Amino acid sequence: MKILLAGLGNVGDEYAHTRHNIGFDVVGAFVQRHGGQFRVDRLAYVAEVKWKGKQFVCVCPTTYMNLSGKAIKYWLDKEKIDTASLLVVVDDLALPLDKIRIKPGGSDAGHNGLKSIQDALGTIQYPKLRFGIGSDYPKGKQADFVLSRWKSTEEKQVADKIAHAVDAIEVIATQGLEAAMNLYNQKSFT
């Protein structure tokens, strides 16, 4: 069974390890945990990981956030993977920092990366792991906030939560989306 694991973010050092790039960080941690290695390929950094009888095609699009759908559609088609076997890892302003949400579908909720995927795939029905980044910013400063780095007081919590998100991906792959939702959607990662 093949799974396309896609982490959303922006390429470039100025975006590395910002709130908006948490998708890259989670997928990177998954690849690292399983001994994979990224290569530069068409529209994305790509790594292949085999684990527990599953083959993961892990992508971090190099198209920038707003064109993520172009890369994801390309890799789904190239690898002949159905959207039900896609998992997108994305930052979520609407969720507090101590939360993750796993869902089988749902709207883009104003997220440009998810909107791009929705437009490219023609559906909102594909699995998502939303990583809460909080919303502690002054009115009108949303863009600055999502592109900011984590506060030093948040770094340990974020590192722990990345490890839990990787665990959640493993549960999705081995036990299914519903089992992962039951295990992780109500947890608080403090």
* Residue type at position 139: K
Is-contact 18 100, C-beta < 8 A?
A: no
Q: Is residue 20 among the annotated active site residues?
A: yes
Is-contact 87 4, C-beta < 8 A?
A: yes
- Quick one: which H or E segment has residue 44? strand 44-51
Backbone dihedral region for residue 7 (phi beyond 0: left; psi -120 to 50: alpha; all else: beta): beta
Catalytic residue among 17, 20, 34, 111: 20
Which residue shows structure tokens 């694991």?
A: 5
Strand order in the sheet with 44-51: 39-41, 44-51, 54-61, 2-7, 86-92, 128-132, 100-103
Catalytic residue annotation: 20
